[in-house]
């Protein structure tokens, strides 16, 4: 079984960091920073990974959750990006098969739509070509009748045909967590809720960072030979801690998703559509009993921590979905949840529409030696990490003459939980151990090869075999597992990023939060005040989302 990854390991790792220097401090535990820490630790570099909040709490838990070549990018001629991302799709399907799964997408074509049949066919041929015809399957064009058969609720007026192509769908927040855990397993010192507040310099070079342990109320300095800024939408804020006059590298754009009951939309599978409102490419994605609709793409200049969906964002998404699924008649009151994230896109002097801002990444170094990695995508995080750690390794060689380590096998080494080729076999093994089939499927899809560990917790203590509550099919054992092995240290960590109950449950799971808080309190040795504070923190988050969705009163 994998090593522990918990509040205790967090405390011990922070103690070690306060006591002795590291080679590399990675600021930011989104997918970019977690990927870098895993790569560096695998190369034997003494690494620390810190996030000001929870792992993936920034953009990386608010994505469309696609591990994709990026069909849309063909329109902009970003062929290299599509090629690279297609290769990464293959890699991630292999190293985390439980978290990244193949998904067919239907692209319907309506007469008068922005993308016609021939353009779509040409684009999909190129898409398959750029994946060297090694995608899950090659695309298929469909007649009007075949599209109707596949998606009977789709608008039939003006429908002329369509195509099915393949990409992958992932659990974004758990992919981040898997990378952070992998880094820890390879020796990195890792903590969430540890925020970098300022840098310490000697001879004009950054030598350390002042860090607040937000959970325990401690403050200390971490000394590091190299420091990497991997903070997504916070990139420029961290750069300004080093160079107060630094010009912005980023042009962040906001993307909103909504979740609605799937039976209202009636979509059989995943669809790629062009919004009838403005012609933008959008996705309608099934996730068990809900449908996720996204996304918007609008410039955003405010505080990254304050980004929220607005009533206008929701209206746009619902109008777009209603235009392709006319019987859905979705209205704001049908929205189960809505969430917003910020794309940390490179500024690069691009003017014009946000969709045309390149999704590529850049590595740069300040005069004081701060390395910053900006831009990129969830899909290409591993490539970004490799490039960045190459730079770190060379820098360390220059500093103390140590040999430059070989590249780490991050493309073949499975992520935690990914040590499994056949998920169905795992499900069958759990069923043999008397785990109900539906529970077994859920555990395998969430924890992969670690599903048995969760099932064992439930088997040893029958109270933990119960679900959190009626209609909430998450086992109590999962919360215990998440506290011990996934560093869940707050109710929000469980509800938002480890179970996604916030995004998928009609009441954001608020009726079971006392149960979650109770289980965490026992695991983490909380007193009543701390338990209440954690509960209140999550309820405030729920309230913030609901308030953002309430239209302002008509004046």
Ligand X SMILES: Cc1cc2nc3c(=O)[nH]c(=O)nc-3n(C[C@H](O)[C@H](O)[C@H](O)COP(=O)(O)OP(=O)(O)OC[C@H]3O[C@@H](n4cnc5c(N)ncnc54)[C@H](O)[C@@H]3O)c2cc1C
Indicate whether 33 belongs to the interface with ligand X (CB under 6 A): yes
- Specify the stretch interacting with ligand X by CB under 6 A; choose among 45-53, 261-269, 329-337, 350-358: 45-53
Q: From the CB of 340, what's the least distance to ligand X, in Å?
A: 7
| Part of the chain binding ligand X (CB under 6 A), chosen from 53-61, 72-80, 121-129, 426-434 | 53-61
Cβ nearer to ligand X, comparing 231 with 482: 231
Establish whether the linkage from the previous residue to 149 is cis, with ω within 30° of 0. Answer: no
Q: Is residue 498 part of the contact set for ligand X (CB under 6 A)?
A: no
Q: How far apart are CA 82 and CA 68, in angstroms?
A: 8
Three-state DSSP at 427 gives: helix
- Identify the residue among 344, 369, 417, 448 touching ligand X (CB under 6 A): 344
* Partners of 363 in beta bridges: 373
Using only C-alpha atoms, what is the Rg of the chain?
A: 23
Nearest distance, CB of residue 349 and ligand X, angstroms: 20
Q: CA 104, 354, 328 angle in degrees (round to 5)?
A: 45
Is residue 208 within the footprint of ligand X (CB under 6 A)?
Answer: no
**65 part of the interface to ligand X, by CB under 6 A:** yes
Question: What x/- string results for residues 151 through 190 when contact with ligand X is judged by CB under 6 A?
Answer: ----------------------------------------
357: which DSSP letter? Answer: S
| 161 vs 344 by CB, closer to ligand X | 344
Residue 27 is a binding residue for ligand X (CB under 6 A): yes
> Do residues 280 and 355 touch, judged by C-beta distance below 8 A?
yes
DSSP-derived 3-state class of residue 406: coil
Q: Show contacts with ligand X in window 224-253 (CB under 6 A).
A: 230-234, 238
Q: How far is the CB of 547 from ligand X (least distance, A)?
A: 20
Q: How many CB atoms lie within 10 A of CB 459?
A: 15
Check binding of 416 to ligand X (CB under 6 A).
Answer: no
Do 337 and 504 meet the contact criterion of CB atoms below 8 Å apart? yes
Find out whether 481 and 457 touch, Cβ atoms under 8 Å: yes
CB of 278 to ligand X, least distance (A): 16
Are the beta carbons of 5 and 485 closer than 8 angstroms?
yes
> Could you tell me the two tokens for 128?
């398959």
> 184 vs 343, which CB is nearer to ligand X?
343
Q: Beta strands 253-261 and 100-110: pairing type?
A: unpaired
Closest approach of ligand X to the CB of residue 375, in Å: 8
Residue 48 CA to residue 191 CA, distance in Å, equals 8
Q: Which is nearer to ligand X, 66 or 74 (CB)?
A: 66
User: Which among 459, 447, 516, 528 is positioned nearest to 488, based on CA atoms?
Assistant: 516
Cβ nearer to ligand X, comparing 231 with 291: 231
Query: Which member of 22, 58, 177, 178 binds ligand X (CB under 6 A)?
Result: 58
Whichever of 88 and 450 has its CB closer to ligand X, that residue is 88
Neighbours of 529 (CB within 10 A): 8
| Total residues binding ligand X (CB under 6 A) | 39
188: which residues sit within 8 A by CB, 6+ positions away?
A: 37, 38, 40, 41, 47, 48, 49
Residue 255 engages ligand X in binding (rule: CB under 6 A)? yes
With binding defined as CB under 6 A, does residue 69 bind ligand X?
no
* Of 239 and 264, CB closest to ligand X: 239
Residue 23 CA to residue 29 CA, distance in Å, equals 17
β-pair type (270-274, 100-110)? parallel
Among 29, 369, 418, 509, binds ligand X (CB under 6 A): 29
> Which sign, positive or negative, has the C-alpha torsion 233, 214, 497, 189?
positive
Site string for ligand X, 370-389 (x = CB under 6 A): ------xxxx----------
State which of positions 283-302 bind ligand X (CB under 6 A). Answer: 295
Residue 33 to residue 229: CA distance in whole angstroms: 8
Shortest gap between Cβ of 376 and ligand X (angstroms)?
5
Q: Quick check: 414 binds ligand X (CB under 6 A)?
A: no
Among 341, 416, 417, 492, binds ligand X (CB under 6 A): 341
Contacting positions for ligand X (CB under 6 A): 27-33, 50-53, 57-60, 62-66, 68, 195-196, 230-234, 238, 255, 295, 341-344, 376-379
């Amino acid at each position: 079984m994998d090593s522990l990854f918990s509040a205790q390991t967090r405390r011990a790792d922070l103690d070690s960091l306060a006591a002795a220097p590291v080679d590399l401090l990675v600021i930011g535990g989104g997918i970019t920073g977690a990927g870098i820490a895993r790569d560096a630790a695998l190369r034997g570099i003494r690494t620390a990974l810190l996030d000001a909040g929870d792992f993936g709490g920034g953009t990386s838990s608010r994505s469309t959750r696609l591990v994709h070549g990026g069909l849309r990018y063909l329109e902009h001629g970003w062929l290299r990006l599509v090629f690279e991302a297609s290769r990464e799709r293959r890699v991630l399907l292999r190293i985390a098969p439980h978290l990244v799964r193949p998904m067919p997408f239907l692209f319907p074509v309506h007469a008068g739509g922005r993308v016609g049949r021939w353009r779509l066919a040409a684009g999909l041929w190129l898409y398959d070509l750029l994946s060297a015809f090694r995608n899950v399957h090659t695309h298929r064009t469909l007649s009007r009748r075949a599209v109707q058969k596949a998606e009977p609720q789709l608008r039939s007026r003006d429908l002329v045909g369509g195509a099915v192509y393949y990409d992958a769908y992932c659990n974004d927040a758990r992919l981040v967590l898997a990378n952070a855990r992998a880094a820890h397993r390879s020796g990195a010192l890792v903590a969430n809720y540890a925020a970098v507040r300022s840098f310490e310099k000697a001879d004009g070079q950054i030598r350390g960072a002042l860090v607040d342990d937000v959970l325990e109320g401690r403050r200390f300095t971490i000394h590091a030979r190299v420091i990497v800024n991997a903070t997504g939408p916070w990139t420029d804020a961290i750069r300004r801690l080093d160079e107060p006059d630094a010009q912005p590298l980023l042009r962040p754009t906001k993307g909103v998703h909504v979740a609605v009951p799937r039976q209202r939309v009636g979509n059989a599978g995943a669809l790629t559509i062009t919004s009838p409102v403005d012609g933008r490419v959008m996705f309608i994605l099934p996730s068990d009993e809900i449908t996720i609709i996204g996304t918007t793409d609008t410039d955003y200049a405010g505080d990254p921590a304050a980004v929220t969906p607005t009533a206008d964002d929701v209206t746009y998404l619902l109008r777009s979905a209603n235009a392709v699924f006319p019987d859905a008649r979705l209205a704001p009151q049908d929205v189960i949840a809505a969430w917003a994230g910020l794309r940390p896109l490179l500024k690069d002097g691009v003017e014009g529409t946000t969709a045309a801002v390149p999704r590529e990444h850049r590595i740069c170094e300040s005069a004081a030696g701060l390395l910053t990695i900006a831009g990129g995508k969830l899909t290409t995080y591993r490539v970004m990490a490799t490039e960045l750690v190459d730079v770190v390794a060379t820098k360390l060689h220059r500093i103390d003459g140590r040999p430059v380590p070989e590249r780490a096998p991050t493309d073949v080494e499975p992520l935690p939980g990914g040590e499994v080729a056949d998920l169905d076999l795992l499900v069958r093994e759990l069923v043999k151990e008397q785990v109900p089939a539906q529970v077994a499927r859920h555990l395998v899809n969430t924890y992969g090869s670690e599903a048995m560990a969760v099932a064992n917790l439930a088997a040893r203590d029958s109270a933990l075999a119960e679900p959190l509550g009626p209609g909430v099919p998450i086992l109590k054992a999962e919360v215990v597992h998440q506290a011990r092995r996934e560093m869940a240290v707050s109710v929000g960590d469980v509800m938002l990023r480890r179970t996604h109950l916030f995004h998928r449950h009609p009441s954001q799971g608020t009726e079971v939060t006392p149960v979650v808080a109770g289980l965490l309190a026992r695991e983490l040795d909380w007193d009543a005040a701390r338990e209440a504070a954690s509960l209140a923190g999550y309820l405030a988050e729920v309230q913030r989302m609901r308030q953002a969705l309430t239209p302002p009163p008509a004046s």
